[in-house]
A and B are shown apart, each in its own frame.
Chain A
C-alpha cells in the first residue's frame, strides 16, 4: 500500500517536473543569461498580441503589460538587486518562462569594515583584526575576487600594510599594535571605496616595579618609580599598586591607585619590617627597614 502511494506521489512529482521542463523547452523567450545589476537589458519575445510579463526573484518583483513580438526593454536601474530571477510571459492560457541571474556591479562602492578591538594594548602581535565586506552601489556583495588593502598607521613606527584578495566578497587581516600608545588609523580600501576605524592603543601591563622609602616622622613615605609597561609607556592612572608591610608576623596592606604615573603612600616605620610592592602579577622590590634596603 505504502509503495503504491509512494509511486503515485513520485509519479505526480515527475509529471509536475516534466511539465515545467516542457514549458521551459518550448519557451520562445530570448533572455540574457546574466545581467549586471543596474544595467539596461531587454527580453525578446515572439508571437503577437498583449501579454503580461513577470520577473520574480527574492530581491525584486516586476510586472509589465507587454506587446509580444517586440523586445521588452528594461532601463538602467530597473533591476538592481543581484540574484536569481524567473521570467514569465502569460498570454491567455499560454505561458512561456525562463530564468536569468543578475550579478553584482564590479565597481566597489561601499565597504562594511569591522575592526576589533577598539582598544588594544601596545606591542601585541596580531592583536588587531580587520574584516571587510565589499558592496557595489546597490548594496550587492561583490563576489568576484577583488584586491583589498589594509593599512594601520599610528603615532610611531612605519605604517603596516597588507593586501588581500577577497573571497566571496570578504577579506580579512590581522595587524600588530604599535609599541607606543595613542590612536591609530585603520583603513580598508577596495578600489575607490575606503573606510577608516580608529583603534586606541593603550599601555600594556606594568613591566617592572620599583619603590623607595624615606622616613617621614614616625612613618615611612613609600613611592614607586614611574610605572611603565614593557615598551616604556606610562601605565594609566588608576592602576592599583599594593604595598605590604610585614612586622613581627603581622601583615598590613595598602592599595593605592597610580597618580601621574607614580604610586605613593605612608606606612608605620617599624625597625626590622619588610615592605614589598606589587601590581597585577608583577612583583616589585622589597625593603627591610632599619637594616637598610
Chain B
C-alpha cells in the first residue's frame, strides 16, 4: 500500500506533465504556420503594413469560419467572413453536405501567402495562398477518409465596415 502510494505520487507529476505537453502540442497544431512573402509591389496602390496585417488576419479567420461551417453544416458561420460569390459557393457546399448527410473537417496547417494586387481605390485585395491542410470526410458521422492536401488558392477580399471579407475564393492547379 505504501509502495503503491509512493508510485502514484511519482507518476502523478509525470502524468500532469504529459497532459500539459499533449495539450500544448494540440493547441500548437491548431494554429497554422503562416509565412507571408514580402510585398514589394502590389499594383497601383501602396499597401500599408497595417492594412496587410488586417487582410491576413481576416483571411486566416475566414479559414477557421469555413472549417467550422463545413464541419457543423452551418452556413450562418460563414456570414462574418465571406461575401458575394465565395459565400454563395460555400453556402451551396454546406447545403449539399447537409442534404447528403456528409460533413467535412478542414484543418489548415500552413499558409504561404503572397499579396499580389491592391486596387487603386483600395476596394479589393488579391492574395495567393499555397495552403497545406487535412480534410476529413464523414458520411453520417462515419469517418471515410482523412487526406493531406496542398493546394494553391486565389482569394479576393473586399473591405466592409469592420473587416475584410473574402469575396472570391478559388483553388487553382499548382
Contact = CB atoms under 8 A, between A and B. Distances in A.
A150 to B, nearest CB: 13
A58 B90 contact: yes
Given A54-B137, A114-B119, A141-B154, A82 B170 contact: yes
Interface stretch (A94-102, A199-207, A212-220, A241-249): A94-102
Contacts of A143: 154, 170, 172
Given A20-B148, A60-B96, A63-B139, A82 B119 contact: no
Contact of B168 (A88, A129, A141): A141
Interface string B107-132: 00000000011011101101010000
Interface residues of A, number: 51
B104 A131 contact: no
Contact of A141 (B25, B146, B170): B170
Contact of B172 (A23, A82, A133): A82
Contacts of A74: none
Contact of A61 (B43, B93, B117, B148): B93
Contacts of A116: 120-121, 123
A226 B173 CA distance: 63
A63 B100 contact: yes
B89 interface: yes
Given A9-B25, A143-B154, A84 B120 contact: no
Contacts of A129: 44, 119-121
B172 A58 contact: no
Contacts of A86: 135, 137, 145, 147, 149
A140 B121 contact: no
Contact of A56 (B43, B104, B168): B104
Interface stretch (A166-174, A185-193, A285-293): A166-174
Given A141-B154, A174-B44, A95 B171 contact: no
A16 interface: yes
A168 B102 contact: no
Given A60-B93, A103-B173, A172 B144 contact: no
A54 B144 contact: yes
Contact of B117 (A5, A23, A167): A167
Interface stretch (B1-9, B16-24, B30-38, B49-57): B16-24
Interface of A: 1-2, 5-6, 9, 16-17, 20, 23, 33-34, 52, 54, 56-63, 81-84, 86, 88, 90, 95, 97, 99, 101, 103-104, 114, 116-117, 129, 131, 133, 135, 139-141, 143, 167-170, 172, 174
7 contacts: A56-B137, A81-B89, A103-B172, A141-B156, A168-B126, A170-B119, A170-B124
CB-based closest 5 A-B pairs: A129-B120, A84-B171, A116-B121, A83-B171, A84-B151
Interface of B: 14, 17-18, 21-22, 25, 43-44, 66, 70, 85, 88-90, 92-93, 96-97, 100, 102, 104, 106, 116-117, 119-121, 123-124, 126, 128, 135, 137, 139, 144-149, 151, 154, 156, 168-173
